């Protein structure tokens, strides 16, 4: 499966409440990996499927993740209140540009 390394995702996982954002996603040696803006994450893949624009990852540990392409509406509804300093953006393009190039840590 080809993944766009420039994509930024909202991450949803009932079993992992710390999951929120993903950027620089990829697959290597049977692992799905991403940068969550504060640390790198990786899980061994049991299944990985597309559901429209979303990615559905089931890990070998049994965790189920949904990766939804981040939009301004999703950011405002699900991310903004959980992000330190809660930046605001005028457009999805501005939001994505910020998360693609910013360094956190």
> Does residue 57 sit in helix, strand or coil?
strand
* Least confident residue range of 13-17, 69-73, 97-101: 97-101
pLDDT computed for residue 104 by the predictor: 65
- pLDDT tens digits, one per residue of 41-86: 999 999 999 999 999 999 999 999 999 999 999 999 999 999 888 7
Distance CA 76, CA 88 (A): 8
Average pLDDT over residues 11-15: 97
Distances (CA, A) of 17 to 14, 20, 74, 83, 101: 6, 8, 17, 14, 25
Bridging pattern class, strands 40-51 and 64-69? unpaired
**Residue 100 pLDDT more than 80?**
yes
DSSP state of 97: H
pLDDT computed for residue 77 by the predictor: 97
* Residues of the chain above pLDDT 90, percent: 84
């Amino acid at each position: 499966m080809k993944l766009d390394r420039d994509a930024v995702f909202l991450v949803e996982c009932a079993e992992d409440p710390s999951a929120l954002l993903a950027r620089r996603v990829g697959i290597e040696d049977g692992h799905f990996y991403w940068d969550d803006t504060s640390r790198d994450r990786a899980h061994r893949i049991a299944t990985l499927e597309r559901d429209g624009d979303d990615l559905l990852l089931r890990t070998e540990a049994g965790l189920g993740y949904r990766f939804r392409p981040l939009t301004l509406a999703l950011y405002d509804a699900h991310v903004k209140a959980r992000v330190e300093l809660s930046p605001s953006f005028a457009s999805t393009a501005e939001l994505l540009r910020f998360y693609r190039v910013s360094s956190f840590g």
